[in-house]
Amino acid sequence: MPPSLKKSWAAVCAATLTGGLLVGIGEASSVSALPAAAPNLALNRPVTVSSSETADLGGARAVDGSVSTRWASLEGSDNQWLQVDLGATTSLSRVVLKWEAAYASGYRLELSDNGSTWRQVYSTTAGDGGTDDVSVSGTGRYLRVQGTKRATAWGYSLFEVEAYAEGGTTPTDPPTDPPPSGPVVNVSTTAELKFALAAASPGQTINLAPGTYHGSFVTQRSGTASQPITLTGPRSAVLVNDGPVGEPTGSCPAPADGFDSGYGLWLFKASNWKLSGFTVADSKKGIVLDTATKVTIDNVYVHDIDEEGVHFRRSSADGVIQNSTIEKTGLVQPGYGEGVYIGSSNSNFACYADSTGVDASHRVQVIGNRIGPNVAAESIDIKEGTTGGVIRGNTFNGTGITGENSGDSWIDAKGNNYTIENNTGTFSTPGTFANGYETHNLLTGYGCGNVWRNNKSDLGGAGEYAVYVSSVSKCATNPNVVYSSNTVTNAKKGLTNITVTP
């Protein structure tokens, strides 16, 4: 992005001033002079953007009241936007855009009541930068500046976005303040949830009201072992991240102003949380934990997800997911559509390994869940480098497994020393199912020491073994064990390919 090159004010002042009307600035229409004291309703309000060039050029810089800071979108795309939550439904009459040198020759102004359904109130294809002072007529809580055509080779860059109510008066329902900082915080809007996640403190409970929350929801706040943070709500409280997915500023994903991960809920270095009751849907990934230890996920519903449903990643150890339902994952990338993903592939250790050299998401427990149908990859993928987890009392419905990217079993155990017991697995779609449970040795010394007991497997006439162990010799000092308490029906070859332990 070049240095700021604002349009000469002499050129702006050459515009015709007649009878209190300002004309000639871009294609913005004339607007009656408003009282000097009219409040800027966009000032310091929550902002969402399609992308940001860097973290210090994020969307909040366009509503901070300073023309020395700015938002800048990524280069190379005309379809970029900035969205402001005004805090309350408001009748707007005026929007002011203060462009940096990288301005839009084409853009729209849109209003929305809910942040997802938009109404156009202004458009131009002849923008010329500088300051656009635009008269509008419409009502909404959310204001979006939607770029349609860049005037330069760069992205879009705005010093400030200002919004004024009809008549220059404060709206009847003024912008809400952040939720209170008490032991219980009740939220019912996207903005309130974002505030609550950003400000959460040990021992606090965030209560979700029924409704659909559209946005990018992330927290970097931790509870403590004695005072965890709780996010809870009914099944009808649905978190949806269906916005454009941006790109992280570094080589590995981390929260940054303007980066929309596409995750339904993201806990980043946020340990000691309890998540319960609510739904995550229609997102790139469902719930993602990065360096988030001792997190309990209880009775959540995750569905209609582009990739994996729940991911314990970047050494998110000692976590639990229990009593939950996961279905319809891998809708866009079937080979990455696991129900529960524990750890990381060794090919991604450059991003996700800790000082031990592996993604140490150890001792994760997956208990009493229903996973499937239409989970496109494995119900549970246990990655190499992880150890000591428990997979107990789950129900796996393999219908809809695609077989892509070796996703052809309920569980692929590439980690060590997992206890896999009291689970029930079924399968009924021929042609894409290899075995009920499998081991693989993708990292030397891993894929070993796992124990199967008292699991019930119905392979539907499609799979070969209930438990297939890929190598005995690679685990000679820490063998995998399949007990005789496991049962299997409708298998092509039987219970297991190794010696059964009484």
Ordered structural domains, the chain, with CATH: 9-168 (2.60.120.260), 185-305 (no CATH), 318-339+346-353+362-502 (no CATH)
Would you state the pLDDT for residue 53? Answer: 85
pTM of the model: 0.68
Q: What is the pLDDT of residue 4?
A: 36
* Model pLDDT, residue 18: 31
Closest by CA to 484, choosing from 497, 501, 467, is 501
DSSP helix/strand/coil, 425: strand
> 4: which residues sit within 8 A by CB, 6+ positions away?
70, 100, 101
Instruction: List, in sequence order, every beta strand (DSSP E) within 319-406.
Output: 320-322, 325-327, 340-342, 365-367, 370-371, 380-382, 390-392, 395-397
Please tell me the distance from the alpha carbon of residue 383 to that of residue 412, in angstroms, as a whole number.
Answer: 8
pLDDT in tens, 31-58: 333 334 478 999 989 899 999 888 778 8
**What pLDDT score was predicted for residue 66?**
83
What single DSSP character describes residue 121? E
pLDDT < 70: residue spans in the chain: 1-37, 167-181, 244-251, 257-258, 430-431
The model's pLDDT over 406-458, given as tens digits with 9 standing for 90+, comes to 899 999 999 999 999 999 999 987 668 999 999 999 999 999 999 999 999 99
Percent of the chain with pLDDT over 70: 87
CB count, 10 Å around CB of 252?
Answer: 11
* Amino acid, res. 495: L
* Tokens read off for 86: 């005004």
